[in-house]
Amino acid sequence: MLVDTEKEITKMHRMLYSTRNEIGKTYYRWRQVAVELAGDNVKPLDVSLRAAEVFGKDIGKSFLPRMNWLKGEEGFLMILAKSLAGLWNTEGGLATIEKGEKPGEIKIKCLRDPWPTWAKEYGAPMEEVAVCRERMYQTILEDVSAFMNVPLKIELQKAIARGEGETVMTLSKVE
């Protein structure tokens, strides 16, 4: 029996896109339930930031087996930045990395991010999308910093969710 490769690839691509879309929407469905259960005394942003911390903690632990100093400090930072950009790409984003202006600084740039679309669909503010991504990445770095014994930081410079056209984060070692 012959297999139509192009048809199979198209089918798998549609399933991947649908899965990504469902994962993002599921996050916001759970956010909505958590906010409702938390009651009137809790700010939705606090719920979302806590979720970002939980996600970041779990993801940070999964990064550890790939982290090493075999290519030196700059190589280590590039591997870490690629892993962070890879998260966006897995979610349907379009993220890349490049060296920053200063030594030991890496820029993570995202030109397409599906999260603002999902947030809008469920009534979450755009600023929440931006600060939650930053908080999640900061939390990822906590375990990586501790495990590798090197203090790291990430800072959000621009955000698609703020209408700035792209999201730019700077990863660097704390001096």
pLDDT (tens digit per residue) in 4-29: 999 999 999 889 888 888 988 999 99
- Is 80 exceeded by the pLDDT of residue 1? no
Q: Whole-model pTM? A: 0.89
Indicate which CATH number applies to the domain containing 19: 3.30.1380.20
Domain that holds residue 168: 5-173
pLDDT in tens, 122-154: 999 999 999 999 999 999 999 999 999 999 999
When pLDDT is cut at 50, 70 and 90, the band that residue 85 belongs to is very high
Question: Three-class SS of residue 11?
Answer: helix
Quote the number of domains for the chain.
Answer: 1
